[in-house]
Amino acid sequence: MTGPSVRVLVVDDSVVVRRVVQDVLQAERDFEVVATAVDGEAALEVLERLPVDVVILDVEMPRLDGLETLRRLRPRWPSLPVIMFSTLTERGASATLDALALGASDYLTKPTRLQGPDAARAAVADQLVPLVRTWGRIGRRSAAPSAAAAPTPARRPRPDPPSRPSGAGRRRAPISAVLIGSSTGGPSALAEIVPALPATLGVPVLVVQHMPPMFTRMLAERLDQRSALRVVEGAAGTPVRPGTVYVAPGGVHMVANRTREGVRIEVDDGPPEHSVKPAVDVLLRSGVDAWGGEVLTVILTGMGYDGLAGARRVVDAGGVVLAQDEQSSVVWGMPGAVVTAGMAEQVLPLGEVAAAIGRYLERPGVAARP
């Protein structure tokens, strides 16, 4: 990464955590920890007087916790990247999902005490450094000294890269399953799409969101509360039923496995793909194996290119791939890779994805294959 250093503010009430994060980041030539803060009040004071490109924000703190800090921060610094640093607990997972809904850019789970200091430091280095580097590129563009008082400039519209000609109404097979892949920004995107799907959808929906265990269960529970469709976390041996959304459990790959009785959810504890588990590509490969070309795939906001190889397999089988557009994506990595490769039949704003799914499923007289 060239240019000036990424300026980072570390906010955590633990002196040990602050020291570990600061040491890890300062070991990188392109980062500068401009300040540390013990709580949200102190963090907001720092932001008033120092230019910052990325904030690493603890969730649970005394005086002013991470959620309330985010609520106060966002109106004044709407484009400042904020990475939540949460514990791998039910309370931490719930607060992290709340933070993402409030506008947090990303999140990272803290290492557990069982890992030991050296392993914990290595885990922080492996996971935090890439996040800060990616969000630093964005933050450096938005966090000018006057950014606190100035309105955020509108993104300049630009045409999407060429996509495959629309095949709505011209596909060779009915849609028997919808497969969705997402990562950074995905929880908020799913919170818009899934509740907008009708109870009469008539096919199953399988979702891979890059998240650790417990987070995926809570994500499924929250979507279920807001949706006409039933939303559950996928579990090994579960029959795949129309009208149900299955969220891949964190820490394992979710697979659609066709048996003589129909398609069932299976889990695969094999190695990560694209450094993630669950991976979108694993689901898409199994989806083609289970339903052939009768799948509609949607690639939503996220870093990297997980889903690209799977999307190519879907297209080769005769299925349909849709991608979220750049303007509505938090990070246009995963959908951008699919679009650039020419795999996307349509490139859509987030607000139009649910309606597009419905249109592709409108084929009177043809039942979805169980």
Distance CA 294, CA 328 (A): 27
The residue from 183, 286, 328, 329 that is catalytic is 183
Element (H, E) at 178: strand 177-182
Find, among 25, 31, 24, 72, the residue nearest to 48 by Cα: 72
The residue from 53, 306, 328, 329 that is catalytic is 306
Distance CA 329, CA 310 (A): 20
Find, among 132, 127, 70, the residue nearest to 95 by Cα: 70
Distance CA 177, CA 182 (A): 17
The residue from 12, 58, 188, 210 that is catalytic is 210
Distance CA 343, CA 316 (A): 10
Distance CA 117, CA 222 (A): 34
Q: CB count, 10 Å around CB of 71? A: 14
Q: Are 211 and 84 in contact (CB under 8 A)?
A: no
Phi and psi at residue 280, in whole multiples of 5°?
A: -65, -40
Q: What does the block give as tokens for 177?
A: 């399953």
Measured in whole angstroms, how far is the alpha carbon of residue 32 from the centre of its chain? Answer: 27
Q: Are 190 and 182 in contact (CB under 8 A)?
A: yes
Among this protein's residues, is 183 annotated catalytic? yes
- Any idea what DSSP says for residue 308? H
Active site residue ranges: 183, 210, 306
